[in-house]
Structure 1
Amino acid sequence: MIPPTNTADYQEKFLQFLIWFIFTAATLSAVVGLGMKYIIMRKLVQEDWLIILAQNVYLAECISTALGVSAGLGKPWASLSEELKDNYLKTEYASTVLLVLSLAIIKWSVLVFIQRLSGGTLSRCIHQSLSGLIGVWFVSSTIISLFQCEIPRPWDHVNGRRCIDRRAWWSYVSVINMLSELFIAALYLLVLLKVQISRKRKAIVLSLFLSRLLVVAAAIAQLVIFFRAFPSPDVTRRYKIPVILNETTLSISVITACVPYLKPFMESLEAGVVRVPSLVRSEEELSLGRLTTESCHTPGPSNSTTCVSAHSS
């Protein structure tokens, strides 16, 4: 294999490495988290299948982004041929839709998990309202993205006609993304307030839940960098950092969605300190710090069996 001979070649390989490294981190997190949950539950439930679906969409988004790197992301726009310019704009067009779809599916997965974790105490109205908001956000963002410029070249926001204000559009996508994550973190807190556990375990569970705020931090960083890059007509060279931050935001979203399935939280489940109806259905059931044991005895010659239910703290 002939080594790269210029900076552009090194840069392309480095961007490709970053994209797939970030994706691999999210994939490993999903595999470990879902694998641990499967060991405990012996099955996968709705939120798990949503995570698997989101990861597949994420894979498609990574492929599209990697093709964008091959087409010229990171290189000066003026140095690209017309064919490469068009190819880059098409990959950006596709990856943006896949990015928003993957984020929406992850949010739906987390909401289903929270609803299950609350044991039905979370208001169905709250759950459905937030799920609906995410659906409206996804549909509206996607429609605007698909028709950002006049047909027949809706992907060409550089030379296309009657294009949208991409800065305003991306602000809408990012702000709703961040607000929905804040609402999700608040729902986690509401669930945790109802759980009777030790302070140490509560701190562990709280830190796992609030890790979703890392998605907000990554989205803020991406929005700030995008604003700085936006005025430049050199869309391939100036947009490389916003693209990497997009991948980082998506990866963190997957990782933090799977974090509650990891060992510290599952240890709390096994210790019987958190009640998760339908989350662990096996021969025994978890309860809020109380384990119910049922003992039966046969009193003497009557051969009648008496069952006594005893509660121990």
Structure 2
Amino acid sequence: MAQTTHTLPPSPFPSNAFYRLLNDPAAPLDPPLSVLTWQAEEVKRAGGILGLTLEPTGDVTLITDDLINTIVGKLKELNDGGVPVILRYGHEMNGDWTSYGLRPLQFVPMFRRMAEAVHKGTKTTAMMWAPNVGVHYPYTPLGKPGGTSPVTSVGADNFAALDTNADDVLDEKDDPYLPYWPGPEYVDWVGLSLYYYQDNPVNNVPGPTYFEDYLLGKDLVSKHGATVGNNEALRNFYTRFGDTFLKPVAIAESGPGYRPGAPGASELDVKQAWWTQTLNPATLASLPRLKLLVNFEEAKVEDGVAKDWSLTGNVGVREAYDAFLGTSGAQLVWGDRVRLACDGSLEVLP
């Protein structure tokens, strides 16, 4: 299932909404609840499923029951109105760019509280647990607590939980996912942020197995230069959390990062190479638990470098993408033929 934002048959995620959770039951979301209501109406009109990313801000231990009840009440309202929701709550918790990142002792109970309330209080809202791809985890190695080490900000207890091999360093030898796992009873979907980044000043196309390698933890050192020691198996997200726990798998954020104006491969070449491997029939057949791929339909500046992740912003790219989707047959299912159950399972209608 693919996210699109242009004129095609209804897609599973006509609106993949991103909100920040504020510690204020009277004004719990940024953007406000009124925007979420509008987006949900658009999803209902298209016959789709609302993908809702909710990022807590500030000290997550201060999240109140009243705040959670406000969110769950809104989700129930959306469900009652005919809009199923997949709630990606506290995403990318294994990175240091969120208030709860690298803090499993705060993240896990935070996620469990929301999951318990959602499962009790809604009809068709499913909980998604979605870290960042762990290939280059922990992104910035952290030494033993003390001195000027940046790990002092997460505290000794969190560091001990993250240091899964107990060698007093948080680095590529540690488990990028398990410290943050809340338990299968709290999770309906498992998801992953997995992009193709252009880290060089020249545009390159992703290698033909880049997507599978990153999702399954294969050939990372030889093909991608990733420093993962002997722990590639720890990066096999699909098997560890999809197969082991019998969960549907989503690529919750995805996209090929083209650098406008840079030399090298064309925008079409970069993006076509991405969708032909992420939506490859043989790949999808080999990964039957992979049920959802959400593309990041934006262009933005990161660290002073402009990158365009969209598949629909450029007319020529969009037309080529449309043509490709038209050849996908039964491999892709449009959202008006999909029903979501509260346990995260999907039913495809005739």
TM-score bracket relative to the smaller structure: under 0.3
Higher RCO structure (Cα 8 Å, ≥6 apart): 1
TM-score relative to the length of structure 2: 0.24
- The structure that has the greater radius of gyration is 1
TM-score relative to the length of structure 1: 0.25
Query: Which structure is higher in strand share?
Result: 2
